[in-house]
A and B are shown apart, each in its own frame.
Chain A
Amino acid sequence: GEDVEQSLFLSVREGDSSVINCTYTDSSSTYLYWYKQEPGAGLQLLTYIFSNMDMKQDQRLTVLLNKKDKHLSLRIADTQTGDSAIYFCAEVDRGSTLGRLYFGRGTQLTVWP
């Protein structure tokens, strides 16, 4: 299977920017995703980026993709306490005909007031 790595914990102050990093191994990945999981809840799709893009911005979220280094990051501007959650990076297995998602272990983001 594919390897998707993330750091496990990140703490920031409210109002600061958060940057969550992810590395992956499959150079042929087509789509890379960021999901958010709040305590006791399911996974919510935050954003995704296609592999031919370098950057995607969506309101407070900025996704950067460095294909050469196989590095993906999610930047959250003006982080709020409501952003506290686990953030999962995921990639699609391009060799699979039906979109097998490989997840990182998740980064627990804690936002301090």
Chain B
Amino acid sequence: DTAVSQTPKYLVTQMGNDKSIKCEQNLGHDTMYWYKQDSKKFLKIMFSYNNKELIINETVPNRFSPKSPDKAHLNLHINSLELGDSAVYFCASTPTGLRETQYFGPGTRLLVL
């Protein structure tokens, strides 16, 4: 009964490729997030969606495009992958946002060669 799940868990790919990471939550939450954790473990928010609507869009290259087909899913598509995209990407969700705890997925470890 995983609350927030991500696929794949590991992703190894070549520079220049396009890849997608999927996230699903079965908690009935309204808001979902993508975070990036770099090699020094620094976590930074990338995007947030509330009821399928983009709410937060940090300074992220437009090669990164989130898509929310429904409230329970938030996918991340990355075009023209670069070496610097290598990181762990975490999905999270929360009921309404401001005052609610965020629940994190297990992460997707992306390595760009």
> Judging by beta carbons under 8 Å apart, are A42 and B56 in contact?
no
Distance between Cα atoms of A111 and B29 in the complex (Å)? 36
Which B residues are in CB contact (< 8 Å) with A96?
56, 97-98
Q: Mark A81-108, 1 if CB is under 8 A from B, else 0.
A: 0000010100010101111110101100
Known: A33-B101, A96-B56, A98-B31. A103 touches B50 (CB 8 A): no
Distance between Cα atoms of A42 and B43 in the complex (Å)? 12
Which residue of the partner chain B has the closest CB to A107? B41
Contact of B90 among A43, A45, A86, A98 (CB under 8 A): A43
Which residue of the partner chain B has the closest CB to A43? B104
Which A residues are in CB contact (< 8 Å) with B102?
45, 99, 101
Distance between Cα atoms of A43 and B88 in the complex (Å)? 12
Q: Mark B3-43, 1 if CB is under 8 A from A, else 0.
A: 00000000000000000000000000001010000001111
> Judging by beta carbons under 8 Å apart, are B106 and A98 in contact?
no
Interface of A is mostly: strand
Number of interface residues of A (CB under 8 A): 24
A52 to nearest B CB, angstroms?
13
> Judging by beta carbons under 8 Å apart, are B98 and A42 in contact?
no
Q: Which of B44-97 touch A at CB < 8 Å?
A: 44-45, 48, 50, 55-56, 90, 92, 94, 97
Chain B CB within 10 Å — which of A41, A43, A44 has the most?
A43
Known: A42-B104, A43-B104. A101 touches B99 (CB 8 A): no
Interface residues of A (CB under 8 A from B): 30-31, 33, 35, 37, 41-45, 48, 86, 88, 92, 94, 96-101, 103, 105-106
Interface residues of B (CB under 8 A from A): 31, 33, 40-45, 48, 50, 55-56, 90, 92, 94, 97-107
